[in-house]
C-alpha cells in the first residue's frame, strides 16, 4: 500500500500509460482501416479499368472473354512489380503534403471508391485516378481550405492533359485505322482478320502491363503516404515490400473480377469494332500512354482507351459512332473530379463530426452499406463473361439509338 502522496504520482503515470496505449491502439486501428480501404480502392481500380485493355480484344473475338480477363489480370499483377518507385504525384503535386492526415486519406479513398462503384453500376468508363485525386482534394478542402490544394498542379497535371489525351488518342487511332485499311485492301478477309486478332493479343498485353505499373503505383503511393503520415515510416522512405505485394494482388484480383459492364460499353457501346479497328485502337492507346508516361505526364488509361475506340469508329463511315453515348461518357469525365471531391468532402466532414477512429469506423460501415446496395442493384441486370458481347441493354441503346439503326 502507498500513502496518498505516493499513490497520486503512480496513478498519474498509470493514466498516462493508458492514454498512450489507447492512442497507439487507435492509431494502429486507423492505419489498418486506411490500408484496407486503400486495397479496396485498388481492387475497384482493377475491375473498373479492365475494359481499357481487354474490351476491343473481347469485342472482336481475338480472345474469349474469360481468357482475356485472366491474361490482363496476370499482366496487371506483373506490371505492378515492374516499377518500384512510389508514385506520389497525388501527395506531392496536388495537395500540401505536410497537411495530409490519415482521416484525409481515408475520406479521399472512400470518395473514390464510391464514385468508381457508382460509375461501374451505370457502365460508364470514368477515370479511377481522377476519382482518387478528386476524393483526396475534397477531403483536404474541408480540412484546411483552398490553400491546401496546389491548383496549378491540378490544372497542369490533371485537367489539361485529361482534356487533350482522348483527342490525341482519337487522332492517332483514326489515322492509323485509315492507313491500315488502305494498306490491307488487297489482303483476303480471313488473313486480315486473323492477323489483326493475333496483333491485338500483343497490344492488349502491353496495355495491361502499362496499366498495372501505373495504377498499382498510385495505391502503393497512397499506402506509403499513410504510413508516413502515421509516423510508421520516415519522410522519403521507400515503399515496403508488403505494400508492393498487397497492391499488386489487389489490382490483379480486381482485374480478374472483370468489370463486365464497362467492358461491354467500351467494346460494344461506342461502335462495332472489327479486328483491324481493335488493333489500331489498342496500338494508339499504348503509344499515347507510354509516350506521355515516359515524358512525365501520366494520363488516364480510361480516357486514352475511350478516345482511341471512338477514333477508329469515327474514321470508319460504315460503322458509325454512337455520339450520344460518347457525350454522356465525356460528361461523366467532367463531373468525376467534382463528384468524387464532394464524396471525399462529405466523408471527411462526417468522420470528423463523429470524431476519431470511431468516426472513421462508422463511415467505413456506411460506405460498405452503400456498396452492398449498389451490388444488390447490379444483380437486376447481370453482365458477365457469357453475355458481355450481347446486344446492349436499354439504357445504352437509348443513348445511341440512331447510329445503331444507321449501322
Partner 1 sequence: MAAGGASSTPFIDWSLLARIAIISIVAGVGLVVAFSIGLSALSFSRNKERGGIARAGAWALTLLMGAVIVGALIWGLVLIVRKS
Residues that bind partner 1 (CB under 8 A): 79, 82-85, 152, 155-156, 160-161, 164, 168-169, 171-173, 175-177, 179-180, 183-184, 186-188, 191-192, 195-196, 199, 202, 206, 209-210, 213, 279-280, 283-284, 286-288, 290-297
Closer residue to partner 1, CB minimum distance, 281 or 392: 281
In the complex with partner 1, the residue whose CB is nearer, 119 or 301, is: 301
CB of 288 to partner 1, least distance (A): 4
CB-nearer residue toward partner 1: 87 or 396: 87
Shortest distance, CB of residue 52 to partner 1, whole angstroms?
A: 15
The least CB distance from residue 340 to partner 1, in Å, is: 23
The alpha carbon dihedral of 200, 206, 212, 215 has a sign of: negative
180 or 388: CB nearest partner 1 = 180
Q: Based on CB atoms, which residue is closest to partner 1, 184 or 230? A: 184
Contacts of 265 (CB under 8 A, 6+ apart): 51, 55, 123, 124, 125, 325, 329, 392, 396
Measured CA to CA in angstroms, residue 291 lies from 144, 176, 192, 309, 312 at distances of 36, 17, 28, 18, 20
Start-to-end C-alpha separation, the chain:
93
All three cell numbers of 388, joined, read: 458481355
Q: Which string of DSSP letters, residue by residue, matches 308-375?
A: HHHHHHHT-TTS---HHHHHHHHHHHHHHHHHHHHHHHHHHHHHHHH-HHHHHHHHHHHHHHHHHHHH
Closest approach, Cβ 185 to partner 1, in A, equals: 9
Report the nearest approach of partner 1 to the CB of residue 183 (Å).
4
- The CA distance from 77 to 398, in Å, is 37
Of 71 and 367, CB closest to partner 1: 71
In whole angstroms, how close is the CB of 180 to partner 1 at the nearest point? 4
- Picking from 328, 363, 352, the residue whose alpha carbon sits closest to that of residue 126 is 328
DSSP three-state, residue 149: strand
CB of 322 to partner 1, least distance (A): 23
Whichever of 87 and 392 has its CB closer to partner 1, that residue is 87
How is residue 356 written as a grid cell?
476519431
Amino acid at each position: 500500500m502507498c500513502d496518498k502522496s505516493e499513490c497520486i504520482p503512480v496513478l498519474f503515470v498509470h493514466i498516462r500509460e493508458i492514454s498512450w496505449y489507447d492512442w497507439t491502439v487507435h492509431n494502429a486501428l486507423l492505419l489498418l482501416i486506411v490500408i484496407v480501404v486503400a486495397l479496396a480502392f485498388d481492387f475497384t481500380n482493377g475491375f473498373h479499368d479492365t475494359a481499357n485493355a481487354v474490351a476491343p480484344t473481347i469485342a472482336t473475338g481475338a480472345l474469349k472473354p474469360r481468357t482475356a480477363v485472366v491474361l490482363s489480370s496476370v499482366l496487371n499483377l506483373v506490371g505492378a512489380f515492374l516499377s518500384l518507385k512510389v508514385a506520389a504525384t497525388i501527395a506531392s503535386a496536388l495537395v500540401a503534403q505536410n497537411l495530409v492526415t490519415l482521416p484525409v486519406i481515408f475520406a479521399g479513398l472512400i470518395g473514390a471508391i464510391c464514385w468508381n462503384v457508382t460509375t461501374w453500376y451505370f457502365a460508364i468508363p470514368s477515370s479511377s485516378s481522377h476519382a482518387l485525386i478528386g476524393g483526396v482534394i475534397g477531403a483536404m478542402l474541408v480540412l484546411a481550405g483552398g490553400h491546401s490544394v496546389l491548383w496549378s498542379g491540378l490544372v497542369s497535371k490533371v485537367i489539361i492533359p485529361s482534356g487533350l489525351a482522348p483527342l490525341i488518342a482519337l487522332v492517332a487511332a483514326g489515322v492509323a485505322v485509315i492507313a491500315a485499311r488502305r494498306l490491307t485492301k488487297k489482303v483476303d478477309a480471313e488473313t486480315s482478320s486473323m492477323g489483326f486478332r493475333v496483333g491485338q493479343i500483343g497490344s492488349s498485353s502491353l496495355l495491361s502491363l502499362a496499366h498495372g505499373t501505373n495504377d498499382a503505383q498510385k495505391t502503393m503511393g497512397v499506402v506509403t503516404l499513410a504510413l508516413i503520415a502515421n509516423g510508421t515510416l520516415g519522410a522519403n522512405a521507400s515503399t515496403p515490400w508488403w505494400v508492393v505485394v498487397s497492391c499488386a494482388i489487389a489490382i490483379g484480383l480486381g482485374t480478374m473480377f472483370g468489370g463486365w459492364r464497362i467492358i461491354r460499353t467500351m467494346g460494344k457501346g461506342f461502335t462495332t469494332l472489327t479486328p483491324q479497328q481493335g488493333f489500331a485502337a489498342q496500338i494508339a492507346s499504348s503509344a499515347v500512354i507510354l509516350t506521355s508516361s515516359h515524358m512525365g505526364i501520366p494520363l488516364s488509361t480510361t480516357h486514352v482507351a475511350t478516345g482511341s475506340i471512338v477514333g477508329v469508329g469515327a474514321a470508319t463511315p460504315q460503322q458509325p459512332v454512337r455520339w450520344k453515348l460518347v457525350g454522356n461518357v465525356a460528361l461523366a469525365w467532367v463531373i468525376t473530379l467534382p463528384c468524387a471531391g464532394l464524396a471525399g468532402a462529405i466523408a471527411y466532414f462526417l468522420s470528423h463530426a463523429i470524431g476519431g477512429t470511431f468516426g472513421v469506423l462508422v463511415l467505413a460501415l456506411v460506405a460498405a452499406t452503400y456498396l452492398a446496395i449498389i451490388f444488390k442493384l447490379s444483380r437486376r441486370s447481370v453482365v458477365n463473361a457469357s453475355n458481355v458481347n450481347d446486344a446492349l441493354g436499354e439504357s445504352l441503346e437509348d443513348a445511341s439509338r440512331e447510329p445503331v439503326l444507321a449501322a
